[in-house]
Amino acid sequence: MLTRLKFPAVVFLCFLLTGCQSTGGYYLGALADGEGDPIVVSTACQQAQLWEDLYLTIDSELGTFEGQQRLSGNLAFSEHSQGMYGRVVSLDLRVFLLDEDNRVVDYRSVLRFLGRSTWDQIPFHVVLPDTAEVVAYTFGYEATFADLADSVSTWNLPSRQR
């Protein structure tokens, strides 16, 4: 009886460990090497910051409110996006907190939506964890844009290759 239970127990343990790993931070340790320069935290606390790439433009401010780090801002679509596409089919925007080597130490979802115009401007705010090794932050996203005849899926996310 004991030998019959060993195999299912091992399989269950493997599934359990795989599940825990997948919820434990997919991008932790990833290198933020995409478009859009990281924003240094000490500078961000003093003034509004601009982050942009080919598809998005994000104005953001980092501040402390009631003892919590808060990131607030406004997402807009670039001239390229507005000129090439009429709508945003979907967008998933994240903020990535980086160490001195531009490695992700934590991240948060900022916005997630379906079906917006490329002319829309979308405000956001997110509470960030207090992590001592954070020296900068950057944004990353997965998006699908469309016009009458075509659509394109694009992303700008940290590289998980170590």
Provide the CATH number for the domain around residue 75: 2.60.40
pLDDT tens for residues 112-150? Answer: 999 999 999 999 999 998 878 899 999 999 999 999 889
pLDDT of residue 45: 72
- Its domain, for residue 90, covers 30-156
pLDDT of residue 44: 67
Q: What is the total count of domains within the chain?
A: 1
Residue 111 lies in a domain: yes
Residue 138 lies in a domain: yes
pLDDT of residue 35: 81
Cβ burial 125-157 (10 Å sphere, 16+ → b, else e):
ebebeeeeebbbbbbbbebbbbeeeeeeeeebb
Residue 47 lies in a domain: yes
pLDDT tens for residues 5-62? Answer: 454 444 444 444 434 333 458 899 999 987 888 988 876 676 889 999 999 999 999 9
Instruction: Band the pLDDT of 80: cuts 50, 70, 90.
Output: very high
Alpha helices (H) along the chain: 2-22, 41-44, 79-84
Cβ burial 41-64 (10 Å sphere, 16+ → b, else e):
beebeeeebebebebbbbbbbbee
Residue 8 lies in a domain: no
Residue 67 lies in a domain: yes
- Alpha-carbon span 112 to 122, nearest angstrom: 11
- Candidates 30, 77, 29, 85; CA nearest to 54 is 77
